[in-house]
Chains A and B, each alone.
Chain A
Amino acid sequence: MSNGTQESVIGADVEIIGTIKSNGNIRLDGKLEGELQCGGNAILGKNAQVKGNVTATSVSIEGKISGNILAKDKIEMKATATVNGDIKARRLSVEDGVTFVGRSEVNPNAQPMPAPSAPQPGTPQR
């Protein structure tokens, strides 16, 4: 997912309580209790656990998330993903095996969605 911008990585042994804001790409393998606002692509690894809303250009989920997901472009749920919350995106890809309880609003033929609110510079923040 490297598209020229730097990727911020939060390791599996990290727990964060608060809001993470990033303009670039971010990979989360640890725990987050709070919001994740990302101007680029967000990857939630297999060990990732998020309790809060996620906003990004595109979101790839392999771990667990309890919260709403808003993606400007695409949401990708891998087979190991567990999502409890509503999702909204322009494109969606779901692999067999996911656990997903929530409301989905994905219509590839609809007009492009407004961009998610751009976070303040400085990555990541608490």
Chain B
Amino acid sequence: MAGKKTKVVDGFSVVRGLARAQQQGLVPPPGSRRPAEDTSARPPPLMQPKDSPHIVKTVEPTKRTIRCFQCGYEFKLAGTTPAIYCAKCREKIDLGDYVIEGPWHEEINTGGSVIIRPTGRLEDVRIRAGNVILEGAMDDRSAIECNQWLELAGATSPDPRQLTMRNLRIAAGCTMKFKYKLQVHHVELLGTLDADVESTGLVSIRAGGHLRGTVRGAHLQVEEGGGLSARVFIWPQGNPLEAGT
């Protein structure tokens, strides 16, 4: 193991490495006490670490859905990697995250996240990404296609026809008006949305959020402090009128 070069360190390698270190006396055996040290100079730890070098808790990496831009195939991916090949068409998919802080002209196709900072501006460009946070501006010829969450957090409100998203989040202080019917999965409002919303998932209005217009869907959640000035059609079991026809 020591002679080999390993790029990926999995849990088994960690345990084996610890066992080897114990054999060499580099790590105290399980259950043994560490020598006393002066801890008066540093603040007390938040958690009491155990003396045992055993792994007491492991966290499974979160899975995310990747969509191939070439063939549209969707698959799950756990962990992080800069790029991956589509399981169906073998096209390379970039999974990098981008932060745009100025004028931007290059097309981005990534399964990762794109953050457009308040100083950022999209100019005649198409952005395709897993998640997008739009704090900056975009001109009339730009477009954003989002496989997962699109968060609108800027002062400017882009033309909704330039935006394609699966889930929509309106950040606090942001006001968005959709002239056309908005069809999304989940909607989360911390700001104000004026739209005709058709949701297949959960419409969640947080404290400080406000929804005006119409909302149709199966699930609605309003936190205390949230506003709802709308025509509401919420049927968790499906529309009984549609079922009868």
Chain A residues in contact with chain B, CB under 8 A? 74, 91-109
Chain B contacts for A102, CB-based, 8 A: 231-232
A-contacting residues, B173-231, CB 8 Å = 202, 210, 219-231
Closest to B226 in A: A92
Closest to A109 in B: B227
A71 to chain B, nearest CB (A): 13
Compute the total of residue contacts between A and B using a CB distance below 8 Å. Answer: 60
B234 at the interface (CB under 8 A from A): yes
Report how far A99 CA is from B230 CA in the complex, Å: 15
A-contacting residues, B30-83, CB 8 Å = none
**Given A94-B221, A96-B219, A98-B220, are A104 and B232 neighbors across the interface (CB < 8 Å)?**
yes
Closest to B216 in A: A101
| 18 further interface pairs, Cβ-Cβ under 8 Å (given A102-B232, A106-B226) | A92-B222, A92-B226, A98-B220, A99-B235, A99-B236, A100-B220, A101-B235, A102-B231, A103-B231, A103-B232, A104-B229, A106-B222, A106-B227, A106-B228, A106-B229, A108-B225, A108-B227, A109-B210
Chain A contacts for B236, CB-based, 8 A: 97-99
Interface residues on B, range: 20 to 34
Q: Across the interface, do A105 and B229 meet the contact criterion of CB distance under 8 Å?
A: yes
Q: Which of B224, B228, B237 contacts A104 (CB 8 A)?
A: B228
Report how far A96 CA is from B231 CA in the complex, Å: 17
| A-B interface, 10 closest residue pairs, ranked by CB to CB distance from nearest | A94-B222, A104-B228, A100-B234, A93-B224, A96-B221, A107-B227, A106-B228, A96-B219, A92-B222, A100-B232
Report how far A101 CA is from B215 CA in the complex, Å: 10
B233 at the interface (CB under 8 A from A): yes
24 contacts between A and B (CB under 8 A): A74-B224, A91-B224, A91-B225, A92-B226, A94-B228, A95-B221, A97-B219, A98-B234, A98-B236, A99-B234, A99-B235, A99-B236, A100-B220, A100-B234, A103-B230, A103-B231, A103-B232, A105-B229, A106-B226, A106-B227, A106-B229, A107-B210, A108-B227, A109-B210
Report how far A70 CA is from B223 CA in the complex, Å: 19
